[in-house]
Structures are given as structure tokens and as C-alpha cells.
């Protein structure tokens, strides 16, 4: 029997090697066709007396990324359509669909023939659940091998037996930590946890897997053997009493109840461990069906899986422009940002020239890369050979002529128009006419800077976030005269350094900073109102933000906030900045000398380690304090999310961002906008545009004009529109089809 996605070869010992190798795809994923073929293979192996057992492996570099989540999206669309006709039938259809993979894996597990998974590379999600259903698992001893169940990161949970097999193979605490965090495991860690059976040299992977079958591997899972005992002990035991109450409390502390899938994992594991395995699988199926219907799952799947993948693949790249293979890149300015840019460029294997005004400064910039690699080596994430290779790619210099031959030059000099003008002119004097020049400015409009260039069509903004090595988003800013060639090169570069590009039209603050400044401004307003500082920080985190707005202001520097306010007043007039907020910032900087983390004094105090930072005690004395018991916590949470979402909507209305995918993904990756919402625009859509506008009007009446909904939102509410409908990112594809 032949298959599209698999091949089967049975050796002289009667062991079938099942190789998963989907045609035309760089990675294997579960689709309806794959599951149908796998079921036929399980039947074939089980019914053929000549086959003693089977090894399943991949014909690609990776094993599999798991389920194709677009398949789940289609299932949810069918559910929505069916629900409009017959709600009960729709639920049954969704329940059956949710269990398709679970029962297929259970069929393999109880087929009567031993199965071994030979994991040769990345093995995530449903693929790892398939491996857990096999009677043994062998992983290649390689840094390329990562295993895990990351579904919680996109609003789901391991719904194909993962919540039941993991806690039956390892202790409860390790199981819950792995499942609720979505962490990936190395072969060594997975072996320590008891999730895999053996680690083998890559070249001996399949033979090692076959050897387990030859040595008499039993075709029965441990939990199907009479007398099976849980590795961590029963739920109702002293061990269980020490595990479950703290686990529930820790999850609440970490998620504030914002992630239904994480809560469902705890319920699945707890209830599942009290019953026989088949009943446990059905419990998991029931919870998975519920989670698939949540707004959080729909929005997170769309933004953090589908949209993120599309943007990473260059969804906004101009069609018809040849892809750039970078031979050499220049970085102007070896300060913290420039040094970070040089590091990520060299890490991608691209030679980089790092230029500064003097050699000690340029050398110091290169030393930043050395310190980052040294830190990675201490954690076992890099080697001496990799360090030597990376550093050899960075050439510090003071000579602009060394930029000759660069495909792209990124300017990251001091944030001053005149300094940038000089850097642009000196660079253009030596680089090729078709080379691209990019500015990493975060405050100065690109169109204005491009006036310093003799070739503005080759001038573009590439705005990194700090620290460059850790932040995954890059804003690409188009000036009025920026051409398609420059845009294509910028996107190619961002993809080459394995970051996510979003394309933004030119404006003050671009997209991300406009939203971040709104977040901070709302905190300043709350301080002025007398909301206790600790309450401000805690409610922001309760709303889903990773860092409180006062802590974030300290990180970016309070005196920088002051400079931005002063510049805004110079450019746009005094009414462009809230007078009371400006007074607060001036008091912090000028009266109290509190500039933020950089001078150890901001909204927080930063004592010497090991003491932890804490809110400045005198902060509460700046304004009369409200009684915290009289403050509506839910309203505070809404204020933070709504003010950011409104700014994102204004940016769409102004045409600064034109693709809702970029607004959503950008808001999450750049400053951590409550990921469970799917992003700033998805937060509006998840609530419903009409409901959101009503909430904004309520907040506007109570707190001021910053909550006034833009005309775009009011119009969308009246017409029943959504952002992904009105600004359909797939409209060109639909026309072509």
C-alpha cells in the first residue's frame, strides 16, 4: 500500500520503518490527510503477521511541528456556521473533531504491536503526543532536537492525550510546569523526566529504535498494566496534598485567570488522574472542546500562530523584487543599540562592519557581542567555536571606506538630526548606488531624515527595540519616497536575523512607541488621581501586561519621557502634552533627580543586590491618596488596555499601519500587550467593536478625551465591521484566486 505523506519499509527482522515526509513542505504537520493515512498504517501494521513492530521517524531535518492550526481554524469556522443552524449538533461536531487525534493515538497505543518514535529533530505539540503514545521514544543526541507541548502559548492545551500521558510518565510537579508553561525540552531533560526512553547518536537513531523492538519491547503502555502507580503518587495522598493547592495558587499568581487553557490543563490532569485512561482521554476531549470555543483561543491562534508565521515568511514583502543574500552589512554607532545590531547580524552569519568615532568605542561595541556569547556559553547555549566564528564576523573601524561593498548600512548614532545627517552623507560617499541605507531612529520621522540622502528611494527606517538580542520585533518605517527595493531588502534582513518585521508608514513615534506612551501616560494620570502606585502596577499586570507602566518608564528613563514631552511641545504646542503629567515628570526629574533605573532612582528605588527594587516610598506623598477599597480594580484594568487599543485604532485610521496582523503581532512582541487578547485590535474584536466603543464612551465621560473613540471605530460599530474584515490582509490573494 502506498501513501502520499509516508513510506513504509519492512526489514528482515520484520520491523517496519514508517517515514513521515510530506511532499512540498519544509516541516511535517498533522492534517486530515496525514491522520487518515496514519490510521491506515496503524491498521496495516496491526493486521500484518509479518510485521513485529514499527518505528516512526521523519524524512526531514525536523520530526514535526505538530498540528496544522489552520485546520483548527477551519473547524471553528464550520462550528460557527453549524451553530447558527443547530447548536447541539455543532457542539457534537466540535467534540468529535477535537477527539480525532486523541483516539487515533490511542488506537496506535493499543494496537497490539510495539511502536517506537525515533525523534530526529524538532518534535512539538501533536507530534510529541504521538511519540508519547508510542511504547518507547528515542531522541537523537543533537542540539537540533527540541521536544514539547507548546499549545498553551496559542490559547490551547495538549488535547491529544498530552495532559494524561505526561503526568503518568513523570512526577506531577514537573508535568504541570511543562504543560502550563509550554516549555521545550532537550533530549537530556526529557530523559531525566522519563518522557523518552533512550538518547542515541543521530546516525544510530533508527537502529537504536529498532533494537528496542528486537529486545522485546512490550506493546502495552504502563497505564494499561494492572497495578500501575503514578510516578508522583495518587492525587489523594500526602504528595498530592503538597502539589495541588500550591499549583492552583501559582497558576493564579502567574496568569491572573486570563488564560482559560492553562486553567483547563490543571482540571484535565487532576480529574484525569482519578479515573481509568480511556475515561481520562474523554475528559481531556471535553475540556479541549470548551477551550476551542473561547475568544482567547481564537484570537491567540490567529495572531500568535497564523499571523506571526505569515509575517515571518515575509507577508508584506513587495512581489517581484529579487531576494537579497547579504554579503556585508554596516552598522554606524557602536553604542548599546549599534552593538546589539552588530551581534544579531553576526549571529546570523553575516559579516558586519561596526563603525564609531574612535577605535576604543568601536572595540567596546564588539566586546558587547563577546559578553553576550560568554553568557550563552555559561548556560550551555553556545560553544567556543561558535564564539570565535561570530566575533570573526565583526570588524570594528573608524574608517567609512570600510563600508564599501555593504548591501545595507544601518545607522544607530546619537539621536540628533545633525549627527545623523553627517553619518548619512559620509556613508553615501562610499557605498554602491543600489545599497540601502537604514536609520534606527526611534523619534525622528524617516521622511525628514531622508532629505539628507541623495537617493531617498533607498532610505528606510529599521527600528529595533532594546535589548536587540532579546526583542523579537523590528519596525520597518517607510518614508514618503522609500521604494520597493529598500522595503524588500529591509524585510529580507529582518528575516535573516530571525526577527519579525512589521511595516509602518512614517509618523511621530511610529506605531509601537505611540502605544507605549499611552500606556505610560495612563499610569501618570492615575498617580495624579491618587491611585496608590502599587495598585497601578499590580492592576496593569492583572490586565495581562508583563511589566507595570511605572517600572517600564524607569527602564526607558524618566528623563527621556521628559525630553519627549519637551520636544512634542516644541513641535506641536503646549496643548499636545497634558500639563499635569508634564508637571509630574518635571517634579520627578528636576526636583528629586529621579531619572529611572539608570541612576538607581525612579518611580522605584534600586538598592544594591541582592536586595530587590521597590516602589519609591515618597511617591505616594506627591498626591492625596484615594482609599484603595473604593477603587474599581476592573476599571483600572480596562483603562490600561482600552487606552492602548484606542491608539492602535487611531494608527489604523491614519494609515500608519495598514495590516491588522502587524498591529496585533507588533503590540504583543514589542511591549507585551496582554497576549491572551491576541493583540490590541483583537482585544477590540474579541469584545465586539460596538461594545468596545460603548466602554470607551463610558471611560471618556469619567476620565477624559484620551478615551474618545476615533471616527473609524464609531463607523465600524455602526456597520458591524471588524478590523480583519475592513482591512482584510488577504484581499489580494482572494482576488488572485
List residues with catalytic annotation: 463
Cβ proximity of 41 and 18 under 8 Å: yes
Which residues, listed in sequence order, are joined to residue 605 by a DSSP beta bridge? 601, 614
Indicate the pairing of strand 473-478 with strand 459-463. Answer: antiparallel
Q: Cell 493564579: give the residue.
A: 252
Beta strand extents in 269-364 (DSSP E only): 329-332, 352-355
What HEC string does 514-544 produce?
HHHHHHHHHHHHHHHHCCCHHHHHHHHHHCC
- E strand or H helix at 731, and its extent? helix 731-736
Of the candidates 236, 303, 246, the one whose C-alpha atom is nearest the C-alpha of residue 668 is 303
Cβ proximity of 137 and 131 under 8 Å: yes
Residues found in the chain: 737
Burial pattern 24-46, b for ≥16 Cβ within 10 A else e, equals eeebbbbbeebbebbeebbebbb
Of the candidates 308, 304, 311, 182, the one whose C-alpha atom is nearest the C-alpha of residue 677 is 304
DSSP string, 41-60: HHHHHHH-TT--EEEEEESS
- 597 contacts: CB under 8 Å, gap ≥ 6: 554, 555, 557, 604, 606, 613
CA–CA gap between residue 171 and residue 575 (Å, rounded): 60
Of the candidates 614, 613, 554, 611, the one whose C-alpha atom is nearest the C-alpha of residue 588 is 554
Cβ proximity of 655 and 727 under 8 Å: no
CA–CA gap between residue 509 and residue 517 (Å, rounded): 9
Half-sphere exposure of 325 (CA within 13 A, CB side): 0
Using alpha carbons, list the distances in angstroms from residue 361 to 469, 537, 696. 20, 38, 49
Q: Cell 506571526: give the residue.
A: 308
- 366 contacts: CB under 8 Å, gap ≥ 6: 334, 339, 342, 354, 391, 394, 396
C-alpha cell at 305: 500562530
Burial pattern 672-701, b for ≥16 Cβ within 10 A else e, equals ebbbbbbbbbbbbbbbebbebbebbeebbe
Amino acid at each position: 500500500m502506498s501513501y502520499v505523506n509516508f513510506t513504509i519499509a519492512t526489514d528482515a527482522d520484520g520491523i517496519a520503518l514508517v517515514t513521515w515526509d510530506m511532499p512540498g513542505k519544509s516541516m511535517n504537520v498533522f492534517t486530515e490527510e496525514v491522520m487518515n493515512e496514519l490510521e491506515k498504517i496503524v491498521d496495516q501494521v496491526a493486521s500484518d503477521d509479518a510485521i513485529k513492530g514499527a518505528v516512526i521517524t521523519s524524512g526531514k531535518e525536523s520530526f514535526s511541528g505538530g498540528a496544522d492550526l489552520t485546520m483548527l481554524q477551519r473547524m471553528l469556522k464550520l462550528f460557527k456556521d453549524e451553530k447558527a443552524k443547530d447548536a447541539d449538533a455543532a457542539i457534537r461536531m466540535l467534540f468529535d473533531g477535537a477527539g480525532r487525534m486523541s483516539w487515533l493515538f490511542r488506537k496506535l497505543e493499543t494496537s497490539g504491536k510495539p511502536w517506537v518514535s525515533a525523534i530526529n529533530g524538532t518534535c512539538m505539540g501533536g507530534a510529541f503526543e504521538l511519540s508519547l503514545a508510542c511504547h518507547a521514544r528515542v531522541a537523537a543526541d543533537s542540539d537540533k532536537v527540541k521536544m514539547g507541548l507548546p499549545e498553551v502559548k496559542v490559547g490551547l492545551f495538549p488535547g491529544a492525550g498530552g495532559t494524561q500521558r505526561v503526568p503518568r510518565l513523570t512526577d506531577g510537579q514537573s508535568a504541570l510546569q511543562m504543560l502550563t508553561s509550554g516549555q521545550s525540552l532537550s533530549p537530556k531533560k526529557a530523559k531525566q523526566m522519563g518522557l523518552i526512553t533512550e538518547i542515541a547518536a543521530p546516525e544510530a537513531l533508527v537502529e537504536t529504535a529498532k533494537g528496542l523492538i528486537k529486545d522485546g519491547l512490550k506493546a502495552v503502555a504502563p497505564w494499561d498494566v494492572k497495578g500501575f502507580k503514578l510516578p508522583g503518587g495518587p492525587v489523594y495522598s500526602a504528595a498530592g496534598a503538597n502539589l495541588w493547592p500550591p499549583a492552583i495558587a501559582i497558576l493564579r499568581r502567574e496568569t491572573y485567570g486570563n488564560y482559560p487553557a492553562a486553567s483547563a490543563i490543571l482540571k484535565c490532569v487532576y480529574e484525569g488522574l482519578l479515573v481509568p485512561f480511556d475515561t481520562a482521554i474523554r475528559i481531556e476531549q471535553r475540556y479541549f472542546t470548551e477551550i476551542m470555543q473561547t475568544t482567547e483561543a481564537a484570537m491567540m491562534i490567529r495572531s500568535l500562530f497564523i499571523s506571526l508565521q505569515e509575517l515571518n515568511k515575509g507577508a508584506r514583502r513587495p512581489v517581484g523584487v529579487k531576494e537579497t543574500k547579504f554579503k556585508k552589512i554596516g552598522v554606524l554607532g557602536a553604542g548599546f543599540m549599534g552593538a546589539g545590531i552588530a551581534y544579531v547580524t553576526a549571529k546570523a552569519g553575516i559579516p558586519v562592519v561596526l563603525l564609531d568615532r574612535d577605535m576604543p568605542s568601536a572595540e567596546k561595541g564588539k566586546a558587547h557581542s563577546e559578553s553576550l556569547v560568554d553568557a550563552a556559553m555559561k548556560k550551555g547555549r553556545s560553544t567556543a567555536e561558535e564564539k570565535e566564528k561570530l566575533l570573526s564576523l565583526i570588524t570594528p573601524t573608524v574608517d567609512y571606506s570600510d563600508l564599501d561593498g555593504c548591501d545595507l548600512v544601518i545607522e544607530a548614532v546619537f539621536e540628533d538630526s545633525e549627527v545623523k545627517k553627517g553619518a548619512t552623507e559620509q556613508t553615501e560617499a562610499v557605498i554602491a548606488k543600489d545599497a540601502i541605507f537604514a536609520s534606527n531612529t526611534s523619534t525622528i520621522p524617516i521622511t525628514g531624515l531622508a532629505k539628507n540622502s541623495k537617493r531617498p528611494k533607498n532610505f528606510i527606517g529599521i527600528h529595533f527595540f532594546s535589548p536587540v538580542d532579546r526583542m523579537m520585533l523590528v519596525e520597518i518605517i517607510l518614508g514618503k519616497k522609500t521604494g520597493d527595493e529598500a522595503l524588500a531588502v529591509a524585510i529580507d534582513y529582518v528575516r535573516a536575523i530571525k526577527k519579525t518585521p512589521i511595516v509602518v508608514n512614517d509618523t511621530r513615534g511610529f506605531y509601537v512607541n505611540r502605544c507605549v506612551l499611552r500606556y505610560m501616560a495612563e499610569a501618570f494620570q492615575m498617580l495624579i488621581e491618587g491611585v496608590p502606585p502599587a495598585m497601578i502596577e499590580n492592576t496593569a499586570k492583572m490586565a495581562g501586561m508583563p511589566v507595570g507602566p511605572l517600572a517600564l518608564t524607569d527602564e526607558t528613563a524618566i528623563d527621556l519621557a521628559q525630553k519627549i514631552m519637551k520636544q512634542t511641545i516644541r513641535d506641536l504646542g503646549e496643548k499636545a502634552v497634558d500639563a499635569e503629567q508634564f508637571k509630574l515628570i518635571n517634579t520627578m526629574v528636576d526636583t528629586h533627580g529621579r531619572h529611572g533605573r539608570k541612576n538607581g532612582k525612579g518611580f522605584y528605588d534600586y538598592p544594591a543586590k541582592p536586595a530587590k527594587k521597590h516602589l519609591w516610598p515618597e511617591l505616594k506623598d506627591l498626591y492625596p491618596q484615594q482609599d484603595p477599597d473604593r477603587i474599581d480594580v476592573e476599571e483600572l484594568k480596562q483603562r490600561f488596555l482600552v487606552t492602548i487599543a484606542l491608539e492602535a485604532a487611531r494608527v489604523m485610521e491614519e494609515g500608519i499601519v495598514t495590516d491588522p496582523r502587524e498591529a496585533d503581532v507588533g503590540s504583543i512582541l514589542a511591549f507585551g500587550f496582554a497576549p491572551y487578547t491576541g493583540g490590541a485590535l483583537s482585544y477590540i474584536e474579541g469584545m465586539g467593536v460596538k461594545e468596545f466603543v460603548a466602554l470607551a464612551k463610558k471611560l471618556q465621560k469619567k476620565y477624559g478625551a484620551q478615551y474618545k473613540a476615533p471616527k473609524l471605530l464609531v463607523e465600524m460599530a455602526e456597520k458591524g465591521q471588524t478590523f480583519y474584515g475592513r482591512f482584510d490582509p488577504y484581499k489580494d490573494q482572494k482576488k488572485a484566486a
